[in-house]
Structure 1
Amino acid sequence: MCVCVPEIGVGLTGFGLFFLLFGVLLYFDSVLLAFGNVLFLTGLTFIIGLRRSAGFFFQRQKLRGSTFFLGGVALVLFRWPIIGMAVESYGFVLLFRSFFPVACGFILSLVNIPYLNVGIHF
């Protein structure tokens, strides 16, 4: 049985990303970054469920990325925000590197939508 509440999860994840961005913009404020990390991970868990989140983070091929990501979160929580965010970013890239081509393809497909194309016309 999967207890997923995607509506709450999307909101929590959005607020988490907002606080992460705001924390970086305010010169790596450790409280905002820690709050953003907690909200982001909680929102992700609400979106896909606890069992699937644990399954995602602790797959054998993603264990290195998970270690760096969660270690970076721990460093931010222990008030080492710059080093923690660097470690966390490296872990994020390792975790989601298979997703980047899909995201780039989606973003590039938006260029072909009429009225959203802001390219130079001759």
Structure 2
Amino acid sequence: KPSWTIGVGITGFGIFFILFGILLYFDSVLLAFGNLLFLSGLSFIIGLRRTFSFFFQRHKLKGTSFFLGGVVIVLLRWPLLGMFLESYGFFSLFKGFFPMAFGFLGTTFDIPFLSALFRRLQGTSSMV
């Protein structure tokens, strides 16, 4: 299915524009463009129905409202406040994935200090 490869590319460009917008002192145009690319790329990767069902689960509504509210605030050219709200929403939405990601990084990279740090971070969070 070639749509997920397009989605990975669009999501990658979205992350690039978000990081570049932060690097250029919260440039609102780059951040808004990055947000739109990130969300549309995510929709290409997992599909519209699964994206909608992920964001609008009952226990994730708080994180979704902060994340999407931050996107709207960035689009209204208040980039610092918008990125703060987006960051809180992002960590609230994806907190269940962080222990798995830290465990993967700890086993993938065999660097002594980093492996111990990733194993420690993996053990402190719960999979809620």
> TM-score, length-normalised on structure 1?
0.89
Unaligned runs of 5+ in 1: none
For the residues of structure 1 that align with 2:101 and 2:108, how far apart are their CA atoms?
11
Unaligned runs of 5+ in 2: 114-128
Amino acid at match of 2:36: V
> TM-score, length-normalised on structure 2?
0.85
Greater C-alpha Rg: 1
Report the Cα offset of residue 4 of structure 1.
7.6
* Structure 1 pair 56–62 and aligned structure 2 pair: CA distance change class (3 A): same
Q: Deviations over 1:81-103 (max 9, x none)?
A: 00000000000000000000001
Name 1:108's counterpart in structure 2. 106
Structure 1 segments (4+ residues) deviating >2 Å: none
Indicate yes or no: 2:59 matched with 1:61.
yes
Name 2:50's counterpart in structure 1. 52
RMSD: 1.5
Aligned length: 113
Report the Cα offset of residue 111 of structure 1.
2.6
For the residues of structure 2 that align with 1:45 and 1:102, how far apart are their CA atoms?
22
Percent identical residues: 64
